[in-house]
Structure 1
Amino acid sequence: MVRRRSTTVFFALLIALVSVVVGLVLWVNYDTHLSPAAQASTANGRHIRQVRVGMDTTQVHRLMGPPQDVARFNGPPVEIIYHYQHRPGTSDSYQIKVNAQGKVINVGILEDY
């Protein structure tokens, strides 16, 4: 009876360990299994946290890559708004508002409700 119980515990622990390892491998490789658009969106999500008010436009483009859409308002005041996709399949996007001098004045998320 004792041998049977220890064998059951051993296999239960083995199955749990394998499950944890498989879960970690899938979690670490998550980005590589996404479509290119989803990979870009996930990368943008990580980089948007580094964009700060007062940053130069060239720094923003270095972090975020080229924007998916640009809107220019001729003011006053002159403002340029860059949009980056947030979640694939929705119209959610990151919005970075820049003044006429090329400095970031606002960073936000536009959500599709």
Structure 2
Amino acid sequence: MRNFTRALFSLFIILIIFTSCSFKNKHSEPIYDNWKIKFSDNQSFAAPSFNDNSWDTINTGKIISVQNNNHYFWLRKSVNVPGSLKDTNIWLGFQKTNCAIQVYADGVYVGSR
């Protein structure tokens, strides 16, 4: 289960919804398109320099079928955080997920769900 958690929505990296934690300055940025996916589990996938060019590309707004695949998978996405969000809290939301998730940013574990 620990590996499944680590694998699920990782690094990339990552971010389904960016928002400022300040309600008066709330900003949302959906990032559903062009995620890289690999049905496997390998901690080296968290490295920012890892080459994921051979991975399939998916849109995360759709169901990810794990049928006939390893139940562990990694998703990767590069996201540019605007300079205006420097020194602010950023919230990352995963909608419609029914699984354990570990999140990495620039190769560093930042939290789990």
Normalised by the shorter chain, which TM-score bucket?
under 0.3
Q: Which structure has greater helix proportion?
A: 1
Relative CO higher for 1 or 2, CA cutoff 8 Å, sep ≥ 6?
Answer: 2
Return the TM-score normalized by structure 1.
0.21
Q: Which structure has the larger Rg over C-alpha atoms?
A: 1
